Amino acid sequence: MTEIRSPIEWAFFVNQVLDEAFGRERHPMSVIEVARMFSASKYPQEPIAAVEGDDLPGFQGALIPDPGRRRGWVIIFNSAIPSRRRIRFTLAHEFGHYLMHRALRPRGFHCVSVEDSDPEQAGDRLEREADIFAANLLMPIHDFREHIAPGEWTDLNMLSCAADRYGVSLMAAIRQWLRYTHQRAVLAVSRDGYILWSEASESAKAGRTFFPNVWKETMAIPGLSLAAKREITSYPKDGLPLPKGVWFPDHEVVEMAVHSDQYEFVISLLMLDFKA
C-alpha cells in the first residue's frame, strides 16, 4: 500500500536515505539507479524493473506496469528529448508517480512534464505533485540553501552552478530557488515578444500592492528589457539595472536574461532587491 506523504515529504525521505548512504556530496545522482535501488529495497514485490528510452510522441515520459512481469513497473522516457538534464527531471517525475500515485492509477501515467510550463496551467494535481517531487528530489532545499542562502542576492552564474551541481536545467534551478529565497524575485518566460508565464518568490508575491502578483494576461515584454534584445547574445550575468517603468511601474529591477535557442524562449530573472 502506498503511504500518504506529501511530495516534499517523499523527496525528503528519499534524500535522507541517500544522504545516509552516500553523503552530501553525491550530486548529481543517477535517477535511474536511485529509482531502481529504492523501489527494490522498499517495495520488493513491485519494484521499478526497468528504465528505458523509447518513441513517445507527444509525451515526455511514462510509468507503466511492467509488461514482462507480474507486478513490477517500467519507466519510459522519450528518447527524442535532446537534453539529458530534462530527461533526468522526467525520470524523477515518473519516480514520483511510482512512489505516490501508482495505487491510484494501476494502468500508469503518460506525462507531458510541466517543468517548463505555466505553473497555473500545469495539468492536474497528480502532475503538479510529481513535478514538486522531482524538483525536491533532484535539488534538496537543505542542500541548495547551503550554496545560495535564502537572504543572499544571486545571479545567473550562481544559479548555473546550482543547475550543474544537480544536473538540471537552468530553468528548473531558478524555479526551485524561487521557492525558498527571501529575495524579491520574478521569473518571466517569454516567446516572440510576449510573456508566456511568470512565477514569483513568496516575498515578491507579498508585495502585491506594487507588484501585481504574477502577470495574468498576455503582456508584451517591455521594449527596453533585455528579453526584447534578441540581437544581443551575451549579457552581463549579474544583470542590467533597469529603471522604474520598464518592468514594473513603481520598481527598478535588475534583469538577467538567457535566450534559449533550443526551446525558443527567453528566461528573464528580475531581481527587485538590489545587491547589498
**Binding-site ranges for Zn ion (CB under 5 A):** 109, 111, 127, 130
The nearer residue to Zn ion, 97 or 184, going by C-beta atoms, is 97
Name which of 75 and 227 has its Cβ closer to Zn ion: 75
Q: Which of 50, 27, 60, 59 is nearest to 98 (CA)?
A: 50
* Neighbour count for residue 64 (Cβ, 10 Å): 14
CB of 63 to Zn ion, least distance (A): 8
- Comparing C-alpha atoms, which of 113, 267, 82 is closest to residue 191? 267
Which residue number, 91 or 195, has a Cβ lying nearer to Zn ion?
91
Amino acid identity for residue 228 in this structure: A
Q: Is 39 or 201 the residue whose CB approaches Zn ion more closely? A: 39
What is the β-pairing status of strands 265-271 and 185-191? antiparallel
User: Minimal CB distance to Zn ion: which residue?
Assistant: 111
Q: 114-132 burial by CB neighbour count: b if 16+ within 10 A, else e?
A: bbbeeeeebeeebbebbbb
Q: State the nearest-atom distance from the C-beta of 114 to Zn ion, in Å.
A: 8
Burial class (CB in 10 A: 0-12, 13-18, 19+), 44: exposed
Residue with cell 505555466: 118
Supply the minimum distance, in Å, between the C-beta of residue 130 and Zn ion: 4
Q: How far apart are CB 86 and Zn ion at their closest, in Å? A: 14
d(CA 167, CA 80): 19
Minimum separation from the CB atom of position 221 to Zn ion (A):
30
Place of cell 524562449: 265
Comparing CB distances to Zn ion, the nearer of 111 and 171 is 111
- Least distance (Å) between residue 76 CB and Zn ion: 12
Q: Is there a contact between 275 and 175 (Cβ–Cβ < 8 Å)?
A: no
Nearer CB in complex with Zn ion: 48/188: 48
Q: Which three cell numbers stand for residue 50?
A: 526497468
